[in-house]
Amino acid sequence: MVQIGYTMMTEQAGPRDLVAHVAGAERAGFDFSVTSDHYFPWLAAQGHAPNAWAVLGAAARATSRIPLMTCVTCPTTRYHPVLVAQLAATVQLLSQGRFRLGLGSGENLNEHVVGGGWPGVSVRHEMLEEAVFIIRALFEGDLVTHHGTHYDVEHARLWDVPVPAPPIGIAVSGEHSCRLAGSAADLVIATEPRRELLEAFDRHGGAGKPRIGQLPVCYDTDHGAAVERAHEQFRWFGLGWKVSAELPHNGSFAAASASVTKEEVAEAIPCGPNVDCFVEAVRAYTDAGFTEVALVQIGGEHQEPYLEWAGRELLPALRTL
């Protein structure tokens, strides 16, 4: 049976609300949770971007059952991999073993803020692979000195080493990232229900490992209001990763998605109160081979009614998949 997750989307709610929402997701019966890790929202209409790791620390103490995960952190530019290892180890200890570290090669939107430029995609993949190597060495409790192609580490170790170490997931969008995920990760993450991504992941060593999808949804008792909100805050979602990773700020996303219509958003994102529409959208992921699907309810101020409805109607319906 597919596991259904809840997304703490840092781009659309402040830190106290995010913690309250994930506690509500635990009470509603969600199987796991994930959080985005952004410095900027995708669109100004979303309106937020608190620090994900501070939120995770608070969430670890506000919940007792629901697993936590970054979806995803870029450990290459805004964060040095040594810092990511320390952050992840600390959250794993605070949550008593409920944390998974989701990693990705990042987006210019968030990483440009440190002023180091935005490398090409092949370099970003090299940086991610080297970062994963460093993080795993630190998770082992080793004293690490490393002088690599992209990173220097001098006499580093974790003094609070979690056992077990957090599993590492890698977000994928094509063959190269699937190769890295299959060989270096414990699970794979994708935002599209593409079977070919999972087949590539398996070819490179990922067979039998968990595979997590993520799906935006917009529950509202008023279908038209749901479509309006999804268009206002999430119309960027269909741009594709090759575009999304390169745009430098939320104004760029607004311009790139200006021609997207409400009808196109409604076709791509389940909107309104119809449970069957949500089930069919999740089914696309399960049919492709995903074992877990994290849902993103659009609209920071619309989480509580969504959680109540999900616990009462949506989650029971999804348990039949």
Residues 6+ apart with CB under 8 A from 185: 103, 132, 168, 169, 170, 206, 209
Q: Indicate if 38 belongs to the active site.
A: yes
State the catalytic residue, choosing from 11, 26, 107, 130. 107
* Residues pairing with 146 in the sheet: 153
DSSP alpha helix (H) spans, the chain: 15-28, 52-62, 81-94, 108-111, 121-139, 175-184, 195-201, 223-234, 241-244, 250-256, 262-268, 275-288, 303-309, 315-318
* Calpha distance 270→272 (Å, rounded): 7
Phi, psi of 266 (to 5 degrees): -65, -30
* Residue 199 bears catalytic tag: no
The token pair at 1 is 């049976």
The single residue of 11, 21, 26, 38 carrying the catalytic annotation is 38
| 52, 37 contact by CB (below 8 A) | yes
Backbone angles phi, psi at 293, to 5 degrees: -135, 120
Rounded Cα distance between 24 and 67, Å, is: 13
Catalytic center residues? 38, 107
